[in-house]
Amino acid sequence: MKFLKTIVLMMLLVGMVQAKTGVVTGGVAHTMPPWFKSSFLELADDVDEAKDNNRHVMLFFHLDECSYCDHMVKDFNQQPLKALIQKHFDVIAINIRGDKEVAINEEESLTEKELAAKVGVQYTPTVVFLNQKNQQVARTNGYRSPAKFTQTLGFVSSKAYENSTLAQYVESLKKTGTYQLQSHAMFAKITDFSKIKAPLAVIFEDKNCDACAYFYNTTLQDKNIKKEFDAFKVVRLDAGSTQAIIDNKGNKTTPKNWVQQLKLNYRPGIVLFNAGNEITRIDGFLYKFHFQEVLRYVSGDFYQEFATYNAYLAYRQKQLLEQGIDINISQ
């Protein structure tokens, strides 16, 4: 009898262990600065009001418990960035899972989450800039440092969008940096990208890459990320190089021209291809969990099942938690 009781107890303990649900840590509660515009979410009216004050509208797409959003909001509250934004922009917060109605114009209204889907928000915060005709003229995807974000503010406030792309504008501001491009064992030497039909990751760096140190010293040190990269052909290109290459569509070009064509203005900017087509890109700062899952989204062909990375991420996070795996979203 004592033996049977022991067996039953062990089975109960095993069941309890198996029933463990993982937890998500690293989320950060944040509030929008009080100087953000208290809008009725009628964007055409917001744009007109901003125009009357010689400003532009900035839509700040955010998510509850988003550590990246918290970081960027804190940046916004620091000088001189705060003064620059307040002088030239009316900032309106949009919750990507919110249900408030947003009137884009007199003909079209969407909920916050529908607008986020229409805009194609993949990372939070995503910042969308509207010109004085209520048209999108620039955006940043994910967290940007104050120095990098200031470049985008200058592009919009000066109306440089009338004559150039954001990538071209950022390139025109660059000075010769001191960052030295690094090597890595996983980098392949490929010049004809039209022949690569397997998952392909093209990493663009340059001498002004202020986020490259984190990429090499932290991101690439993670064993799970290195494992996900194993599914890819990985190529690193100098975004300033004029070396002759052939892009994924078979066009003769150079890394410098290709990165401009891709309108990629973040470094290291990573474009992920599969079957010769761009699937998505990493053009903002990501912690390790989100970085790892973007790679898996492409290499595992999950983009064929889930229309957006965010939809895949919700599924994947639920899957891991049900398996009892904890997730830290801010490391």
pLDDT digits (tens, 9 = 90+) for 132-167: 999 999 999 999 999 999 999 999 999 999 999 999
Q: Read off the DSSP letter of residue 218.
A: T
- Please indicate whether residue 173 or residue 220 has the higher confidence score (pLDDT): 220
**Bond from prior residue into 268 cis (ω within 30 degrees of 0):** yes
pLDDT surpasses 70 at 3:
no
Q: Is 157 exposed, middle or buried (0-12, 13-18, 19+ CB in 10 A)?
A: middle
Q: What is the pLDDT of residue 307?
A: 87
| pTM given for the model | 0.88
**Bond from prior residue into 125 cis (ω within 30 degrees of 0):** yes
pLDDT digits (tens, 9 = 90+) for 206-227: 998 889 999 999 999 999 999 9
pLDDT surpasses 90 at 281:
yes
Q: Which of helix, strand or coil describes residue 146?
A: helix
pLDDT digits (tens, 9 = 90+) for 64-113: 999 999 999 999 999 999 999 999 999 999 999 999 999 999 899 999 99
pLDDT digits (tens, 9 = 90+) for 229-247: 999 999 999 999 999 999 9
Rounded CA separation 230/188 (Å): 12
Rounded CA separation 111/89 (Å): 23
Q: Which of 2-16, 29-43, 228-242 has the lowest mean pLDDT?
A: 2-16
Q: What is the pLDDT of residue 171?
A: 85
Rounded CA separation 135/85 (Å): 19
Rounded mean pLDDT of the chain? 92
What is the average pLDDT across 189-194? 96
Domains by residue range for the chain, with CATH = 43-162 (3.40.30.10), 193-328 (3.40.30.10)
Res. 42 pLDDT band, cuts 50 70 90: very high
Res. 177 pLDDT band, cuts 50 70 90: confident
- Reading the block at residue 219, the tokens are 């991101």
**Cβ proximity of 73 and 32 under 8 Å:** yes
pLDDT surpasses 90 at 4:
no
Residue type, 301: D
Q: What is the pLDDT of residue 174?
A: 75
Selection from 179, 238, 184 nearest residue 209 by Cα = 179
Rounded CA separation 146/79 (Å): 10
pLDDT digits (tens, 9 = 90+) for 311-327: 999 999 999 999 999 99
pLDDT surpasses 90 at 172:
no
Residues recorded for the chain: 331
Helix, strand, coil distribution of the chain in percent, nearest 5: 40, 20, 40
**Cβ proximity of 272 and 199 under 8 Å:** yes
Q: Where are the beta strands (DSSP E) in 173-215?
A: 200-205
